[in-house]
Amino acid sequence: MSRMSSTASAPPAGRYAPSPSGDLHLGNLRTALLAWLFARGSGRRFVLRVDDLDRVRPGAEERQLADLAAIGLDWDGPVTRQSDRLDHYAAAVDKLTSAGLTYECFCTRREIQQAATAPHGPLGGAYPGTCRELTPAERAQRRAAGKPAALRLRSARTEFEIIDRLHGRYRGPIDDLVLRRGDGIPAYNLTVVVDDAEQGVDQVVRGDDLLPSTPRQAYLATLLDLPIPEYAHVPLVLNTEGKRLAKRDGAVTLSDRLARGETVDRVVGLLAGSLGLAGRGAEELLAGFDTDRLPREPWVLDPDRLVVVGRCP
């Protein structure tokens, strides 16, 4: 469902950007609903972007879009896909490289993990800068040995502060984050910054599991001379064990619930109830939506009963 509009002349936007690695579960749908409510409730456009640079399962994107439309969400303009925007990410990397802000990294994941978990390893598992000061000869030697090189940011900061709509001021560590992986694929922290800025997204609503990475993204935006959006990291839906809801937890997708004889209205009502709202569709929920009254804690869902059973202690 699309409301066509011109990005150049349209107001700012909120967005939802799923990865087409499988069907959306109820936690994903809840976050998408919140992103839509935040955007529409503040007079913004709402755009959809498919983060398809990593895991892509055939048919997943189509099912995701169908589920979002089924719960009453609409969006402005066509759906965009990161796989169509590789030249935009390359231009951003070129800008940083021209400014002397990148370097090649030959570390394996295991080496990075071992350094991060060492007794005197970097705070918060940040990259310790192992390859930061390699000489040109040392880099050439590693390339000649066939070691794939990721491209990292040469950061001048160790911390950066952002302001979140739900969490307030949040300061997180900044390290030499990966911009381009060793296989040549642009990294998420780069692509999300470039995409949001170019699509006019000035409001980012997503799960609070992504809050720790947000200072890195905001800092990177400043280096690229891009605006920092308004953030709202919303509580996740958890399973009865207190872990993030996943498809392995049972009948947790919309199609699962419909196959059990439930209705879309029933599922939307559950999501609404977990947010302290009442209504059978997205448009009805919008009328009573108040960001200041949203819960700040995770909610626990029992998929077998399809009820919210409480807050996570």
DSSP string, the chain: -EE---TTTSPPEEEE---SSS--BHHHHHHHHHHHHHHHHTT-EEEEEE--SS---TTHHHHHHHHHHHTT--EESPPEEGGG-HHHHHHHHHHHHHTT-EEEE---HHHHHHHHTSTTPPGGG----TTTT--HHHHHHHHHTT---EEEE--S-SEEEEEETTTEEEEEE----EEE-TTSPBPHHHHHHHHHHHTTEEEEEEEGGGGGGHHHHHHHHHHTT-PPPEEEEEPPEE-TTSSBP-GGGSS-BHHHHHHTT--HHHHHHHHHHHTT---SSHHHHHHT--GGGS--S-EEEETTTTEEEEE--
Domain end, chosen from 156, 191, 226, is at 191
Tally of domains within the chain: 2
Following CA atoms 235, 237, 241, 242 in sequence, which dihedral angle do they give, to the nearest 10 degrees? 0
For residue 104, give the CATH number of its domain: 3.90.800.10
Q: What is the pLDDT of residue 11?
A: 77
In this prediction, residue 5 has a pLDDT band, given cuts at 50, 70 and 90, of very low
Which pTM value belongs to this model? Answer: 0.90
Domain hosting 242: range is: 2-84+235-311
pLDDT of residue 303: 81
Give residue 117's pLDDT band: very low, low, confident or very high (50, 70, 90): low
* Domain CATH for 79: 3.40.50.620
Determine the Cα–Cα distance for residues 152 and 119; give it in Å rounded to an integer.
Answer: 24
User: Was 188 annotated as part of a binding site?
Assistant: yes
Q: Would residue 206 count as lying in a domain?
A: no
Are 106 and 184 members of one domain?
A: yes
127 is in an annotated binding site: yes
My answer on whether 254 and 291 are in the same domain is: yes
The predicted structure's pLDDT at residue 68: 98
CA 73, distance to chain mean position in Å, is 18
Please check whether residues 94 and 168 belong to one and the same domain: yes
- Whether residue 18 is annotated as binding a ligand: the answer is yes
Whether 277 maps to a domain, the answer reads yes
Are residue 101 and residue 173 in the same domain, yes or no?
yes
At 153, give phi and psi (nearest 5°). -80, 135
182 and 137 inside one domain: yes
Q: Which residues are registered as beta bridge partners of 201? A: 13
Q: Of 133, 162, 191, at which residue does a domain stop?
A: 191
pLDDT at 2 > cutoff 50: no
- The whole-number average pLDDT for the span 170-185 is 95
Residue 218 maps to a domain: no
Give domain status of residue 201, yes or no.
Answer: no
Same domain for 296 and 243?
Answer: yes
Question: Does residue 231 have a known ligand-binding role?
Answer: no
Q: Is 51 annotated as a binding residue?
A: yes
Q: Tell me what the mean pLDDT of segment 191-215 comes to.
A: 97
Residue 14 lies in a domain: yes
312 is in an annotated binding site: no
Q: Is 40 annotated as a binding residue?
A: no
Q: 147 a known binding residue?
A: no
Q: How confident is the model at residue 7 (pLDDT cuts 50, 70, 90)?
A: very low
Tens digit of each residue's pLDDT (9 = 90 or more) over 237-291: 999 899 999 888 888 999 999 999 999 999 999 999 999 998 778 888 998 899 9
- Does 83 appear as a known binding residue? no
Answer yes or no: is 15 a known binding residue. Answer: yes
Residues 96 and 75 in one domain: no
Arithmetic mean of pLDDT, 58-85: 97
Quick check: is 156 in a domain?
yes
Q: How many CA atoms lie within 13 A of 81 on its CB side?
A: 10
Statement to judge: residues 112 and 122 lie in one domain: yes
181 labelled binding-site residue: no
